[in-house]
Structure 1
Amino acid sequence: MRIRVVNPNTTAEMTARIEVNARAVAGPGVTVEAVTSAMGPASIESHYDEALSVPGVLAAVADGEASGVDGYVIACFGDPGLDAARELARGPVVGIAEAAMHAATLVGRGFSVVTTLDRTRGRAWELAARYGAAGACRGVHACDIPVLELDRDPHLADRVTALAGRALERDDSDVIVLGCAGMADLCATVAARLGVPVVDGVAAATLFVQSLVTLGLRTSPRGEFAPPPAKRYSGPLSGFGLPVPSRVA
């Protein structure tokens, strides 16, 4: 089984950290390959960034389809391009926010999200509603550290742990969701210090994809996620207008 983990930003150092965390949970016979988007922003911290990251995500999925990838993880907490990627892929596609929120509801009654910048909190709330977790999501809290500064802050674990601890008390929650792929390697440390489940979406999404492939479950080719109709695209997106092969149900 081959799982492709797509980093929607163009920062290769972050891709390397994401790959380590994804490979750590993969089962026997599962190959995990993390890829860096070939186009788009260096980090995703706004709606503008997210919109411009989607072509790179779709290019990575299209390339994976040509090389026989079995399933995909979208490794950004905004889950950019998730629906469009499902239209392209034969196998399952799972976003890390989607996976983390679903996993959190399986191990607690309520969860708090700890994310990066305050301006991204609204997107997390929107996704909680979309994924049916609005009632379980008790709060979204920002540490106000830019994504590209996460690996440069020597006190990151302390800051995130302190914020997560305050979130548990303020929200009366019992699970923490880490709201950025760049926080994935903090999971065990924060969980050990706080004594509650801490969910990393990269690990959760990798295992969800692995499980779906094992179960033989694919995105339905009927209705909204059917392959998109072939048509011409213009300008810088002209290369995205190629016909999409039919999927096998």
Structure 2
Amino acid sequence: MRLLLINPNTTATMTEKAGAAARRVAAPGTEIIAVNPTHGPASIEGYYDEAMSLAGLLGIIGGRDDYDAVIIACFDDTGLDAARCLTEKPVIGIGEAAFHMAAMLSNRFSVVTTLGRSVPALEHNLTRYGLAARCARVRASEIPVLELEDPLSDACARIGAEVAQAITEDRAEAIVLGCAGMTDLAEGLGRAHGLPVLDGVVCAVALAEGMVRLGLATSRLGGYAPPRFDKG
């Protein structure tokens, strides 16, 4: 089985981090192909960056067929619906994957993301997925995405402080980490705070493997029908 993991931004270190996390949990025989576009934003922090990353993301999906499923490794689930129109193979967004798993592990969960400007997009996605009532709050740690790539940053401590506040103020029973760049923090934060801390990258791997094993494909009816390319 081959899973194509796409980081929609152009920061290769983040792609490598997400790929390493995916390989740690992938089943024997599953190959993780971790890639990112060469053109586009270095990080995705809001609606504008998301729009600017779409051409690179969709170009990768449409330009190759050597995979059994796609994982979009951006917590905003960048381009998720459009990607599902390009291939009948399963396409999993790490945000959607983590939200659904959190809802199956807890009565209520909180999300800890990067900047406040990312909060509206995540709240919108929770509503779309029918999970807004299960999410106590989307919290911003006010950490820029690229700061997560700095080994000298105190990002982990600041995210941990948000987790602690979510437990006491939100009565959260689980935490979802709202950025692919946080993938290496989940295990340690879970141990430190004594509750499930979910990283969307590994959640998406598990779901993608399951869908492939079950022989499931994206519907070609209705909204996910293939694009009608203009041949004129």
Q: TM-score, normalised by structure 1?
A: 0.90
Could you tell me which residue of structure 2 aligns to residue 227 of structure 1?
Answer: 226
Q: Does 1:138 align with 2:136?
A: yes
Corresponding letter in the other structure for 2:47 = H
Instruction: Give the Cα separation in 2 of the matches to 1:196 and 1:95.
Output: 23
CA contact (8 A) 1:157 1:189 kept: no
**Alpha-carbon distance in 2 for matches of 1:46, 1:224:** 24
Structure-to-structure mapping, 1:177-188, within 5 angstroms: 177-188=176-187
**Alpha-carbon distance, 1:158 to partner:** 1.6
1:98-247 aligned at under 5 Å gives the runs 98-152=96-150, 153-231=152-230
Cα shift readout 1:197-230 (whole Å, capped 9, x = no counterpart): 0000000011111110111111011121111112
CA distance in 1, matches of 2:231, 2:49: 25
Number of residue pairs matched?
A: 231
Residue aligned with 2:25, SS:
coil
- d(CA) in 1 for partners of 2:25 and 2:39? 28
Q: CA contact under 8 A between 1:45 and 1:120: conserved in structure 2?
A: yes
State the shift of 1:156 in Å: 2.1
Query: Unmatched 5+ residue regions in structure 2?
Result: none
- AA aligned to 1:211 is G
CA deviation profile, 1:153-192 (whole Å, cap 9, x unmatched): 4422221111111012111110000000000000001000
- The residue type paired with residue 119 of structure 2 is R
Distance 1:91 1:74 in 2: 13
TM-score, normalised with respect to structure 2: 0.97
Query: 1:122, 1:183 → 2: CA distance?
Result: 19
Instruction: Indicate conservation of the 8 Å contact 2:123/2:132, yes or no.
Output: yes
| Shift of residue 232, structure 1, vs aligned partner | 5.5
Q: 2:64: which partner in 1?
A: 64
| Structure with higher RCO (Cα < 8 A, 6+ apart) | 2
> Post-superposition shift, 1:231?
1.1
1:73 corresponds to which letter in structure 2? I
Contact 2:110 2:175 (8 Å CA) reproduced: yes
